[in-house]
Amino acid sequence: DTAVSQTPKYLVTQMGNDKSIKCEQNLGHDTMYWYKQDSKKFLKIMFSYNNKELIINETVPNRFSPKSPDKAHLNLHINSLELGDSAVYFCASSQPGTGTYEQYFGPGTRLTVT
């Protein structure tokens, strides 16, 4: 069974559109994240979220918003897409308090904005 899954794997869309990327984890973890990996391969945290708290990286535009219908899901909504949003987006999850810093990553969603 896949621990952290994302859909779609590839997403091609035009500037100005609104799109969503879905993420699900079956690990029972309390915390989920979204990361952005740009063309230079730098991996940057966007959001950290659990049942109690949303932590937002201050550099993330407010066009990006995480939505969590339940503990196992954290979807990423992006409004008014821009060319610079093209990147690979990774979802991840972890269980705080386990004594490790281990995060489990999904396979990524490659977003291309034309």
Which residues contact other proteins by CB under 8 A?
4, 31, 33, 35, 40-45, 48, 55, 57, 90, 92, 94, 96, 99-108
- 66, 89 contact by CB (below 8 A): no
In the complex, what is the shortest distance from the CB of residue 35 to other proteins, in angstroms, rounded to a whole number? Answer: 8
List the structure tokens of 96: 């705080």
In the complex, what is the shortest distance from the CB of residue 56 to other proteins, in angstroms, rounded to a whole number? Answer: 10
In the complex, what is the shortest distance from the CB of residue 80 to other proteins, in angstroms, rounded to a whole number? Answer: 25
DSSP 59-106: TS-TTEEEE-SSTTB-EEEE-S--GGG-EEEEEEEE-TTSSS---EE-
Name the residue nearer to other proteins (CB basis): 8 or 96: 96
